[in-house]
Structure 1
Amino acid sequence: MPPDPLSTDSGSRNIPAWNLYGERRAFPDVLHIERITDRAAGLDWRIAPHRHPHLHQFFLILDGAAKVTLDGIAPDVVPPFLLSVPPGVVHGFSFAAGTDGHVLTVPLQSLPELLDAGAAQGTALGRVGILTEIGALEPLFRRIHAEHDGSAPARGVMLRALAAEVACLVLRALDGPMAESGVTTDPRFHRFQAALNQHLRDGWRLADHARAIGISERHLSRICRAATGQPAATLIEAALMREACRLLVYTRASIASVGYDLGFEDPSYFSRAFRRVMGLSPGAYRAGFERD
């Protein structure tokens, strides 16, 4: 069953947020898994750019060919590979007919200790990841298929366990050196990252985030520097500009509207901030993708 665009997010000013299996309500199962052929064949092997606010997806592409776009970037990938896509990332596909693989969709509430924003931020599960060495993942995906299609006792518990194994393997493969170093991140940094995602369009600035966490702006910046090497203000600005890039590429909203949506009261100030971070104006950035 192909997903339907959310009626509230299908307008010209919003990137489509797809209503996958009732995502607006409680997800009807612990997870969902299907073959690429089941998902893409009925859509002429093309899946338009979209994003899921509350789902993490793992795409295991085994053979064939796939052109992938991730927030406007098209990485050069050749099967077999695994693609990990956290919530909010705009992704689209163009598959060669007959491409084989699996799509594993996991609601955040099924694995909050791994996939929830507070837990995933600062790890490989909080950003797009691509694995070219799939190792034990293919048989693991087959086990998830079999369990998902069955009705054995403790089915939900087993599905969560298998999905957790997938997530842990991906995390370790992408974040292995960091995971083994014994370095820990201040939990207040994860709270900051979660609030940054939640309030991105609410005009929150550094003072708002520091106040919400209950620390000074200077202390919050020290925590962010320790975790990422960058101060909090830089991380806030980078998040705003990432979202601006998504809106410029995937919506028809005016440049002024994009700025207003992200809390910039003055369109000219938004344009100057965008140019400073991205190296070109919002109009030039959008035009570059329209030419492509």
Structure 2
Amino acid sequence: MYFCGDFTPGRTAMTEQNLRPLPGPGLVQDVEVDDIGGALSASEWDFSAPRARLGAHGFVLASGSGVVRLESGATGIEAPCVIWLPSGMSASVRLEAGARGVAMTVSDAALGRVVPASSIAGPLRQAIDRPLVGMRLEAAAARATIRDLEEIRRETLEDLPGMREAIMSRLCLVLIAFWRLGEVAAQPQAAPRVLVQNFLQLVELNARAQWRVADYARTMGISTDRLTSAIRRATGQSPLELVHGRLLEDAESLLERSALQVREIADALGFRDAGYFNRFFTRLKGISPGRYRQRAQRLRASPDGSYAAWP
């Protein structure tokens, strides 16, 4: 049977009490899908034994954050991301208030039937036996996977002709997407030196766009933690400190060599307003942009052009 119903935080939703058969002779697969709709408080799912044996559990998050706890420890997660917990794995998932996405439970019977008889059968079966904990993905890919899961839910509710085939096709697409994410994660990762070079190149291109550290990590295809660790080992600074340093260099150059007003410089560097730029510059430089410009002008006007004119 196929099933879709409420996925109640704090418990596994697939139980004898709430499994409801839908029309269709010979349907022996169980697939449950439910929305995660931005709750006002944190939500938690407990997949401890014996509930862990009820099937595999997946989450696709479009927004929000949380933590996944396995026997090996806790891992923080941030959307957009995927969580896949194979059947039999004891775990818990806690999502902070406001998280949005889709959750699903797939029985072992469904997993056994959904894998196509093709060249990908072996790798796909191996993939669904491995966990994915907060695997990051592009926002567009998250939306596409969520749409596939929502279509599974719609099919179970509408009971249209060809329901079984439609559900299994959609589920296969979702599992293939998870398999591909696992394959990317298993690929050899770039050496720290290459990561640092790639990051610095991206900073040159995007610092003025006010990218967050998470934006750089996502573009590079790595986690924020790995990026931070590689940058700090190589430079002694955090990624954010390097981004701020690059913006500060541009600010100093514009203050020294251009006739732009401070508010125009703030706009050119991507700051939302001049006041925020003033606080940023003063915090890093110990002097306001206006006073910095005045000192630079006095230095240029000094007879010998030396730093003796710099107070």
Question: Where on the TM-score scale, by shorter chain, does this alignment land: which range?
Answer: 0.3 to 0.5
Q: TM-score, normalised to structure 1's length?
A: 0.46
Q: TM-score, normalised to structure 2's length?
A: 0.44
Q: Which has the larger radius of gyration?
A: 2
